[in-house]
Amino acid sequence: MRLKRKRLKALLVFLFVCFYGRLLKNNLFSSFSTRTTEIRLIQQAQEKEENTYSTLEIGCRGVECCIEREENGIVKCFVAKIEVRHNVSLQLWDDRSNGSWRLRYQLSEAVRTHPFLRWTQVGESADIILWLPSLAASPPSNLSLIDARHKLVILDEHDLPAPKGLRRVSNGYLAFFKRSFAVKRDGRLLDSQGSLYSLEPLPVVPFYSQYTNYRFFAFQYALSDAYLGKNFQVPTLWSHREYHIVCTLRVGRGQFQARARVLNWTRQAMLSDETLTGYAGEFDKGSRLDINLEYFELMRKAKIVVTTQPGEWDGDYRSMEAFSSGALVFADVALTHAPSPYPFVPGSHYIQFDPIQGNRNDFLQKLRYYLDRPQLAERIAANGFEHALKYHRSISRLDWILRSAFAEDIRGRALYSYNETARTIRDNTPRIIHGSKNNGRQGQKESEKKEVLDVAAISSLRIPLDRRYKQK
């Protein structure tokens, strides 16, 4: 009798454990199970540089973006480059004093799509605290010396080259990332005495030489998934794109001379050939505070998209917006200034030109050259678009920022051997330290005539040249 009771008790315990275990698995641990499966799929996908399927849906889901090749109907998928593969809690410090809508949107998008990242509202439980001086004027309050040096990552996106908020961080920081670090005038680099140096396709590091031994790095904006539109219909065939050239640069009231020159050159190319269709001029009155889908749709219909960064600073959203179109991108040499992971290569991913005065003929010749060679142009356009999807989406940019920060942490949170971190890129990049007289650059001659557009010319450029409909 006693033996039967023991057996019955054991059976009941066994059934209870099985039932309760299944309950836990289905409820409490369901998210963990899903995350484990997703991690395994990501690792398998990243073992291949690209995947080709025939039944996948079009669009971006998590780390993958899929496009349909129009020439054969095959769906081609690209896995975003990520290397942070341990759970990370992030806090975005926000005192509601400023804006910074677009960068905040890209960060939120990255956290939403990254399988190992999540937001937290509690700074004490955060692994990393992100401070955007353009979003919050003051640094995180009540941050101890230890926490600041092991948690605080600063993302400064201000146009001025001086690091915003650096002096306000009394307890230090883990890593400081600066957009628009170069000192420029009308597209040319300046040294500390105001002398001009010729632009060359050579990356530069932040000109603050006193910071080069510190955790101070350059960064660029990323490609947002929202740029690709809801339907994700990116024409992959050159012949299916309706317009030859699209250039939507803004000239303001004349303060953007470099952009005004490039827009003027583009208009001259279109006016000299009546068969060319497209659009040259300001397209909308939008700003960083919105994502205008009509603007992106216009670029997706173009064979060539012409863009250039501002003449007075580096780093803009337009460059990645152009690459998201899948068109052949014409971009200025400033695209190579900021050292970045897996950078775009001129001639392989886009066509490079110099927006400085005296380079109009070179620009026009390149436009004609690639318009006359559609197969070559189509191949370079596809390379640039696919490279952007693999390495420059918002998920990849935030992953790069975090792995660069972890690699700097003296507490050894670099759990993996990360590639292409901010320090390795900076240390292995040829430099131009502004203020150095021995950097091998020949100064700009004062007698060289500049191509400066007057008020009347600027006013005419503000009226778009609209040739979006083929001539009959």
Mutual angle of helices 30-46 and 2-26, in 10-degree steps? 60
One domain for residues 151 and 231: no
DSSP letter for 137, please: S
* Inside any domain, residue 40: no
The reply to whether 239 and 367 lie within a common domain is yes
What is the Cα–Cα distance from 230 to 148, expressed in whole angstroms?
Answer: 40
User: Is residue 457 a contact partner of residue 272, using CB atoms and an 8 Å limit?
Assistant: no
Residue 238: φ, ψ to 5°: -55, -40
Work out the angle at residue 42's Cα, subtended by the Cα atoms of residues 38 and 46, and round it to the nearest 5 degrees.
175
For residue 150, tell me if it sits in a domain.
Answer: yes
Same domain, 358 and 287: yes
The SS3 call for residue 404 is: helix
Query: Hey, what amino acid is at 283?
Result: F
Tell me the three state secondary structure of residue 341: coil
Do 289 and 308 share a domain, yes or no?
A: yes
Q: Which residues constitute the domain of residue 63?
A: 51-80
Name the domain count of the chain. Answer: 3
Task: Measure the N-to-C terminal CA separation of the chain; round to a whole number of Å.
Answer: 101
Report CA-CA distances (Å) from 223 to 60, 96, 159, 396: 12, 25, 19, 9
What pLDDT sits at residue 240?
84
Tally of CA atoms within 13 A in the half-sphere of 387 that contains its CB: 21
Residue 327 in any domain: the answer is yes
387 and 338 in one domain? Answer: yes
Q: Are residues 74 and 94 in the same domain?
A: no
Instruction: Please indicate, yes or no, if residue 4 is contained in any of the structural domains.
Output: no
Cα angle 230-236-242, degrees, rounded to a multiple of 5: 85
What residue type is 120 in one-letter code?
T
Give the count of alpha carbons within 13 A of 293, CB side only. 8
Helix (H) or strand (E) holding 197: strand 196-197
Q: How far is Cα 203 from Cα 428, in angstroms, rounded to an integer? A: 11
Using 50 as the pLDDT threshold, list the residues of the chain that sit under it.
20-41, 44-50, 53-56, 192-210, 432-449, 471-472
Q: Which residue in 225, 198, 272, 313 sits closest to 467, CA to CA?
A: 272
Whole-number pLDDT of residue 158: 87
| Per-residue pLDDT, 333 | 79
Residue 468 and residue 280: Cα distance in Å, rounded?
10
Sheet with 196-197, side-by-side order of all strands: 184-185, 188-190, 196-197
Alpha-carbon gap, residue 292 to 297, rounded angstroms: 9
Going from the C-alpha of 256 to that of each of 142, 185, 264, 310, the distances in angstroms are: 42, 10, 12, 7
Shared-domain flag, residues 421 and 297: no
The reply to whether 279 falls in a domain is yes
Quick one: 102 and 208 in the same domain?
yes
Q: Is residue 260 part of a domain?
A: yes
Same domain, 62 and 190: no
For 203, the token pair is 């990356």
Kindly state whether residues 239 and 262 are assigned to the same domain.
yes
- β-strands 59-61, 64-68 pairing: antiparallel
Instruction: Measure the CA–CA gap between 349 and 114, rounded to whole angstroms.
Output: 26
- In a domain, residue 379? The reply is yes
Cβ–Cβ < 8 Å for 243, 277 = yes
pLDDT the model gives residue 275: 94
Q: Are residues 64 and 184 in the same domain?
A: no
Residue 19: partners with Cβ closer than 8 Å, 6 or more residues away: none
What's the predicted TM-score (pTM) here? 0.81
Amino acid at 90: L
Residue 463 lies in a domain: yes
Instruction: List the helix and strand counts (H, then E) for the chain.
Output: 12, 19
Cα 227–Cα 229–Cα 234 angle in degrees, nearest 5: 95
All residues at 6 or more sequence positions from 207 whose CB lies less than 8 Å from its CB, including other chains:
161, 181, 182, 183, 192, 432, 433, 434, 435
User: Same domain, yes or no, for 172 and 126?
Assistant: yes
